Structure 1
Amino acid sequence: MYRGLVDGDKMSKFLRRFGYVRNIAKLQSNSKSSTNITEGLKTFQRYIGINATGTVDDLTWITMIKPRCGNKDIRIQRRKRFILQGSRWPSRGLSFRIIKYPTAFPRQFVEIELSKALRLWSDASSLTFEHRKKRDKFTDRETDIQISFEIGDHGDTEPFDGPGNVLGHAFFPQYGGDAHFDNDEYWTTKSLEGVNLFQVAAHEFGHSLGLEHSNDPEAIMAPCNNVYRRTRFGFDSDYPKNIRDLFGRWEGGVWQSIPDNLDTALSWSNDQTYFFKGMYYWKTIRFTLQPGYPRKISEGFIGLDESKFFTGNLDAAFVYSGDQKTYFISGALFWRLNENREFRGQIEHDYPQFVINWLRITNKITDALQWINGKTYFFSSNVYYRYDHVRQKVEDVNPPFPRLISDWWLNCNQTNSNHDSTFSDIPYITKLYTRPRRYVVESERNRCRKECVGLCFRIIPFLLLVSVMFH
């Protein structure tokens, strides 16, 4: 137990504010409330990587009262430096404007530090940022990220609390991307005193660009990562994959030896992408075709052969969100790989199994993918399903699944242009060009080219895979 004085009310407010305890006001008894707080405390302890006792020890309380970001910690996942929230900006060229400066920190230093923080992200991606300094009522409405230094309750239901504690917060792209900083903080630059504006801004802009908190204490997106570092502050070697998924830094070219009309494609987190047709596959690393291909599928993915009732022509190859293993679907059957490694991974002994017994989807699966929001989508002709891997069934939501690809992925139905936030991460792929031995995809928001819809129905998941890497 903590040897000092623990403020029980402050602890429960902390757990509620940062997402560890939900709907506590709706509980019917004190015993249920106490149980909810205990479980929330255990969840927080697991998040910071200490023994989940459900009681407050020194490290638990000290971490709770540290200055930190005001955004919720939300999801507990394996330790990752960057966790994708799901929504993204439709354009790579973003604008920002500082609409309210701090009262006790020179304006020129504010502009330098905030621009430097945004440059940290642009250097790691294909994004560019335009600083709009001149106030204009017309361009203000179109500015992507508005930045302000606020005091207390400033109109967004997340009030600041004076010096210390919450330093700032920012909204994900689907909610506007604005970033707010607490004006009451003692903002500094290159000093061990006060709060380092550059490091806090780099963190908050990560939220503005679509990243959630990380439970790695050394990551930029760690909730409490605001102590000034004399050494280089930035990304280390494990950042590229998730940032590239969200913002894109595509390096590659055109592959003259890969045929048209591929069956499906598979992408792993090590930048390796595999393209399948018939009984053969091709391998690329960062979209560079590797020598020695095509190979037989059974060579690289051991056991996916006739002895396991596979006769070629995969319908889907994807990493399933439920266990992060690779699955293959062909017709009514599916197979699971025991590890995501070429030449090492083998089809598990109790496969194949029937797709309908797993997914409870009666329609034939024509492709599948795990999207950047961590959810798995299954496609069948012109409709799709979103799968709940926790409950192991198609998600039960309104409007129900299956849904039309044309309405929810291509945005052809203009009446659905204002989707709720659940679907704000879905891209609108509207132009498709097929050329000999290559595909080119362009994305536009709220527009659709009707003439391409029929073709998109057939290969939309493959295009989405390519689209992730292009963007």
Structure 2
Amino acid sequence: MASKAFPFFSFVILLFLLSQYSVLADNTNDKNQSPFEFINHLQGCHKGDNVKGINELKKYLEKFGYLNYSSYTNQKHANDDDFEELLESAIKTYQLNYHLKKTGVLDPKTISKMIMPRCGMEDIVNGKTRMRSGHKRQNASGHFHTVAHYNFLPENPNWLANKYHLTYAFLAGTPVDAMNPVAKAFTTWAGNTHFTFSVTQGIGHADLRIGFPHGYHGDGSPFDGHGGVLAHAFAPDNWRSHYDTNETWYVGAVEGAIDLESVALHEIGHLFGLGQSSVEGAIMFPTIPPGVTNGNLHGDDIQGIRALYNV
């Protein structure tokens, strides 16, 4: 009897350990490849090429702020597969932001970054903000040097000076197991800012509203299915933060899955008014690979929030 009981006991322990990490494991309605996977087939493309899929790449770069054909009188390349000068320039800017060699060519390292799961917020908003804009400080000799790469959302939106306690509520349909990692992310921000937070059941009166929808969900920024855009959040005057329920969410570093707490830390930064950062170790960096976790704020994140609120 003892020899049969041990395997059963081990199985129970394994289930318990897995339950400590799983939030929405394998709860995906779309098991197809990542919506960014098409970029892999464009490796080596450069100016002058005409390859099927380049138009999809243009839409990808438009989504994240690198291209805006509507701002040009001549829009003839907006809907074709021509790799033309504007696209090359957009890719160079992308490479600059992500610390890649500025070639304008879809080399393997550039593609590796582009296909990574990421936040849905633009890297460059309305052409006014760049991830690598940096913030400069003048030293005693009169020279300026870059001290940070944090960014603010356009027009520097923030909460009023006397609004230091924020309430948040979870929309209907939010998985119960998802609430704790999001709450922990709020606690981490509270420990590094002048803000405090509390959860409330009253959706209509909450300062921040958090939900787990999928696809088209009424905010003009539809999710694209498993493995692409993970989540998005809006500026303080909008108060919404959404996570794609079609993702494979976990708590902790689990191979092939996304750590919910790490993504929540990033999205809360947007709710404060922070934009994307070009510092790869920062929470406000736009991408996160599956299987990693980052539960701590980077110095760049903390400098950004303190500079935005003058604290």
Same fold (TM > 0.5): yes
In the other structure, the counterpart of 2:94 is 44
Q: Any conservation in 2 of the 1:218–1:225 contact (CA below 8 Å)? A: no
Q: Any conservation in 1 of the 2:157–2:273 contact (CA below 8 Å)? A: yes
Aligned mate of 2:191, from 123, 128, 137: 123
Which has a greater percent of helix? 2
In the other structure, the counterpart of 1:99 is 171
Q: Which structure is richer in relative contact order (CA contacts within 8 A, separation 6 or more)?
A: 2
In the other structure, the counterpart of 1:160 is 223
Structure 2 residue 135 is the aligned partner of structure 1 residue 89: no
Change (3 A) 1:55 1:24: farther
Aligned mate of 1:189, from 230, 251, 257: 251
SS in structure 2 at match of 1:163 = coil
> 1:147 deviation in Å?
0.5
State the distance in 2 between where 1:204 and 1:216 align.
Answer: 16
Structure 2 residue 63 is the aligned partner of structure 1 residue 17: yes
Structure 2 residue 269 is the aligned partner of structure 1 residue 225: no
Percent of aligned pairs with the same amino acid: 29
> 1:141 deviation in Å?
2.9
Change (3 A) 1:158 1:171: same
Q: Any conservation in 2 of the 1:200–1:226 contact (CA below 8 Å)? A: no
For residues 294-327 of structure 1, what are the alpha-carbon distances to aligned partners after superposition, in whole Å with 9 as ceiling and x for unaligned? xxxxxxxxxxxxxxxxxxxxxxxxxxxxxxxxxx
Structure 2 residue 117 is the aligned partner of structure 1 residue 67: yes
For residues 127-176 of structure 1, what are the alpha-carbon distances to aligned partners after superposition, in whole Å with 9 as ceiling and x for unaligned? 011101x34xxxx33311101111111111111011001000000113x1
Give 1:8's aligned amino acid. Answer: I
Q: Compare CA radii of gyration and give the structure with the larger one.
A: 1
Q: Which deviates more from structure 2 when the two are superposed, residues 60-69 or residues 164-173?
A: 60-69
State the distance in 2 between where 1:24 and 1:41 align.
Answer: 18
TM-score of the two chains, using structure 2 as the length reference: 0.70
SS in structure 2 at match of 1:169 = strand
User: Which 5+ residue runs of structure 1 have no aligned equivalent?
Assistant: 248-467
State the distance in 1 between where 2:247 and 2:101 align.
Answer: 32
Aligned mate of 2:266, from 203, 219, 227: 203
State the distance in 1 between where 2:179 and 2:40 align.
Answer: 41
Change (3 A) 1:40 1:94: same
In the other structure, the counterpart of 1:112 is 180
Q: Any conservation in 1 of the 2:235–2:273 contact (CA below 8 Å)? A: yes
In the other structure, the counterpart of 2:23 is none
**Aligned Cα root-mean-square deviation (Å):** 2.4
Q: Any conservation in 1 of the 2:151–2:277 contact (CA below 8 Å)? A: yes
Structure 2 residue 100 is the aligned partner of structure 1 residue 28: no
Give 1:5's aligned amino acid. Answer: H
User: Which 5+ residue runs of structure 2 have no aligned equivalent?
Assistant: 1-38, 43-52, 135-147
Change (3 A) 1:35 1:211: same
Q: Any conservation in 1 of the 2:69–2:75 contact (CA below 8 Å)? A: no
Give 1:47's aligned amino acid. Answer: N
State the distance in 2 between where 1:4 and 1:114 align.
Answer: 33
State the distance in 2 between where 1:20 and 1:163 align.
Answer: 23
For residues 207-227 of structure 1, what are the alpha-carbon distances to aligned partners after superposition, in whole Å with 9 as ceiling and x for unaligned? 011100011111100000354
Give 1:124's aligned amino acid. Answer: N
Structure 2 residue 91 is the aligned partner of structure 1 residue 55: no
In the other structure, the counterpart of 1:5 is 41
Give 2:224's aligned amino acid. Answer: D
Q: Any conservation in 1 of the 2:119–2:230 contact (CA below 8 Å)? A: yes
SS in structure 1 at match of 2:211 = strand
